[in-house]
C-alpha cells in the first residue's frame, strides 16, 4: 500500500461519515439481483432494522404516501409467485416485501379533518409511486449491507387486482413492485451498466446515435454473460427489440383507476 493510500485508509478509519460514504458506494457497485436463497430465516429484528433505515428515504412533502407489507407466510408467497408469472424465487425467499403506493392513509387523515384528499389526478399517483420506489431501493441497499440479497419483482403489476385481494389492500393502495429478501446461496457479480458517457449528460441532453449505443454496450454485456456462463445468444439490443416493441400490461391504467389512482 502506498503512503497516500495508507493515509486515506487511516482518514476513513477515524471519520465515520467518510467510512459510511465508502460503504454505500461499495454496496451499490456490487449490487446484483439474487434469486437463490438459503433455507434460513431472516430474523424479525433484522427486517425491522432494514425497514427503519429504509423509511429515512425521501418522501415528497413528507406525505409518506407508501406502505410496506412484510410477507413471510408460505401460502401467500406462493400465491404472489404465481401472480408474478410463476417466479419460483418469490415463493422460496424467506421474506417478500410488497412496496405499495398508498394514498388511502392520506385520505383518511383529510376525512378526519372534515375534508377529502384531492387524489384523482396524475401528480398524486406519481408522488405515491415514487415514494414507494425510493423506500424500496433504500431497503435493498440496507439489506445488502447486512449480507442479504434479493430481487425487485415488477410482476406484481401483472394482475394488480388479484394482488390487492391477496394482500387485503383497501381502495387507494397499489403494489408498485415487490422485493424478495434472504441469505444468498450465490451472489452474482454486478451486471455492467451502459458506459456513463451514454447515460450521463452535462448541462443539456445530448442525443446519442443508436448504432453507437448498440456497438458499445452489446459487446460489454455479452462478455459479462460469457464470464458468468449465462450466454444465451440474444444480445441486449435484440432483447429490447424482441421484448419491448409491443406494449406491456395493457389495461393497467384502467385497473389503477379501479384501485383509486387517478392518471389525468
pLDDT in tens, 17-66: 565 555 889 999 999 999 999 999 999 999 999 999 999 999 999 999 99
Q: How many residues are there in the chain?
A: 264
Distance of CA 52 to the CA centre of its chain: 17
Note the pLDDT of residue 23.
Answer: 87
Is the separation of the CB atoms in 152 and 8 below 8 Å?
A: no
180 phi and psi, to 5 degrees? -80, 155
Note the pLDDT of residue 120.
Answer: 87
Q: pLDDT-derived band of residue 5, with 50, 70 and 90 as boundaries?
A: very low
Is the separation of the CB atoms in 156 and 175 below 8 Å?
A: yes
pLDDT over 70 percentage in the chain: 92
Note the pLDDT of residue 172.
Answer: 97
Rounded Cα–Cα distance for residues 95 and 143 (Å): 11
Note the pLDDT of residue 20.
Answer: 57
Quick one: CATH architecture of 32-189? 3-Layer(aba) Sandwich (3.40)
Rounded Cα–Cα distance for residues 173 and 66 (Å): 8
Per-residue pLDDT, averaged over 209-213, amounts to 93
Rounded Cα–Cα distance for residues 257 and 41 (Å): 37
Is the separation of the CB atoms in 238 and 151 below 8 Å?
A: no
93 half-sphere exposure, CB direction, 13 A CA radius: 28
**pLDDT tens per residue across span 164-197:** 999 999 999 999 999 999 999 999 999 999 999 9
Helix axes 210-227, 236-244, angle to 10 degrees: 110
C-alpha grid cell, residue 4 = 497516500
What's the chain's average pLDDT? Answer: 92
Entry pTM = 0.90
CB atoms within 10 A of CB 188: 16
Per-residue pLDDT, averaged over 252-261, amounts to 96
Where along the chain do its domains lie?
1-30, 32-189
**pLDDT tens per residue across span 77-121:** 999 999 999 999 999 999 999 999 999 999 999 999 999 999 989
Rounded Cα–Cα distance for residues 188 and 135 (Å): 23
Amino acid at each position: 500500500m502506498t503512503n497516500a493510500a495508507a493515509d486515506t485508509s487511516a482518514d476513513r478509519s477515524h471519520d465515520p461519515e467518510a467510512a459510511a460514504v465508502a460503504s454505500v458506494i461499495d454496496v451499490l457497485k456490487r449490487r446484483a439481483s439474487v434469486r437463490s436463497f438459503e433455507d434460513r430465516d431472516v430474523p424479525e429484528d433484522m427486517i425491522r432494522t432494514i425497514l427503519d433505515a429504509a423509511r429515512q428515504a425521501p418522501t415528497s412533502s413528507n406525505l409518506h404516501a407508501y406502505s410496506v407489507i412484510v410477507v413471510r407466510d408460505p401460502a401467500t408467497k406462493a400465491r404472489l409467485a404465481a401472480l408474478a408469472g410463476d417466479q419460483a424465487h418469490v415463493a422460496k425467499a424467506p421474506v417478500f416485501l410488497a412496496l405499495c403506493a398508498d394514498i388511502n392513509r392520506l385520505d383518511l387523515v383529510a376525512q378526519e379533518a372534515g375534508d377529502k384528499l384531492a387524489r384523482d389526478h396524475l401528480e398524486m399517483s406519481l408522488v405515491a409511486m415514487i415514494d414507494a420506489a425510493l423506500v424500496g431501493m433504500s431497503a435493498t441497499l440496507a439489506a445488502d449491507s447486512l449480507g442479504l440479497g434479493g430481487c425487485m419483482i415488477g410482476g406484481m403489476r401483472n394482475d394488480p387486482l388479484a394482488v390487492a385481494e391477496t394482500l387485503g389492500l383497501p381502495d387507494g393502495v397499489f403494489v408498485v413492485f415487490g422485493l424478495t429478501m434472504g441469505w444468498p446461496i450465490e451472489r452474482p457479480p454486478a451486471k455492467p451498466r451502459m458506459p456513463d458517457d451514454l447515460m450521463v449528460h452535462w448541462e443539456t441532453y445530448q442525443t446519442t446515435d443508436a448504432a453507437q449505443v448498440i456497438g458499445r454496450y452489446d459487446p460489454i454485456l455479452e462478455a459479462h454473460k460469457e464470464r458468468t456462463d449465462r450466454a444465451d445468444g440474444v444480445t441486449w439490443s435484440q432483447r429490447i427489440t424482441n421484448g419491448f416493441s409491443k406494449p406491456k400490461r395493457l389495461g393497467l391504467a384502467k385497473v389503477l383507476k379501479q384501485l383509486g389512482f387517478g392518471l389525468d
